[in-house]
Structure 1
Amino acid sequence: MGRFLGLLVALVLGLGALGVLAQEEDDPVKEAEKQKQQLLEQSGGILPSDLYVQQGEELFKAKRGPKQASLEACDFGRGPGRLEGVVGRLPRYFFDTRRVEDLDSRIRTCMIRLQGFRPEEIRRSEVVAIAFYIASLSNEKTMYVRPLLPQEKQLYELGERLFYLRAGPRDMGCASCHVTYVGRRAGVLPYSDLLGDKRVASHWPAFRYSNDQAWTMADRIRACYANLGMPAPDFYSEPIIALTLFMNAQARGARMDLPGFIR
Structure 2
Amino acid sequence: MRPYALYGLAAILLALSFALAQEVDPREEAKRQKELLLQTGGILPTELIVAQGEELFFRKGPSGKTMAECDFGLGKGVLEGAAARLPRYFLDTGKVEDLDSRIVTCMTRVQGFKPQEVKRSEVVAVAFYIASKSTGHRIQVRLLFPEERALYALGEQLFYARSGARDVGCATCHVTYVGRRAGVLPYADVLGKDQSWTHWPAYRYSNDQAWTMQDRIRACYGNIAHPQPALYSTPILALELFLAYNNNGALVEEWPAFVR
Q: Is the 8 A contact 2:192 2:247 kept in 1?
A: yes
2 CA distance for matches of 1:181 and 1:31? 21
Kindly indicate whether residue 248 of structure 2 is the aligned counterpart of residue 252 of structure 1: yes
In structure 1, the residue corresponding to 2:203 is in which secondary structure?
strand
2:202 corresponds to which letter in structure 1? R
Structure showing greater Rg: 1
Question: How far has the Cα of 1:191 moved from its partner?
Answer: 4.8
Q: One-letter code of the match for 1:88?
A: A
1:91 aligns with 2:84: no
Report the CA distance shift for 1:229/1:151 in structure 2 as closer, same or farther (over 3 A).
Answer: same
Deviation per residue, 1:142-164 (Å, 9 max, x gap): 11112121111110110111011
Q: Would the alpha carbon gap of residues 187 and 260 (structure 1) be closer, same or farther in structure 2, given more than 3 Å must change?
A: farther
Describe the SS at the equivalent of 1:261: strand
Alignment gaps of 5+ in structure 1: 1-24, 197-201
Q: Offset at 1:193?
A: 3.8
Aligned residue among 38, 49, 53 for 1:52: 49
Hey, what does 1:110 align to over in structure 2? 106
Q: Are 2:180 and 2:188, in contact at CA under 8 Å, matched by a contact in 1?
A: no
Sort the Cα spacing of 1:191 and 1:100 in 2 relative to 1 into closer, same or farther, 3 A: farther
* C-alpha RMSD of matched pairs (Å): 1.7
Give matches, 1:17-32, under 5 Å. Answer: 26-32=24-30
Tell me how far apart the structure 1 counterparts of residues 27 and 81 of structure 2 sit (CA, whole Å): 23
Q: Tell me if the contact between 2:53 and 2:125 (Cα under 8 Å) persists in the aligned partners.
A: yes
Mapped pair 1:161 → 2:154: no
Give 2:197's aligned residue.
204
State the AA in 2 paired with 1:27: D
CA apart distance, 1:192: 3.1
Q: Which stretches in structure 2 are left out of the alignment for 5+ residues?
A: 1-22
CA contact (8 A) 2:217 2:236 kept: yes
Question: Alignment identity in percent?
Answer: 57
TM-score normalised per structure 2:
0.85
What is the aligned partner in structure 2 of residue 150 from structure 1?
146
SS class of match (1:255): coil
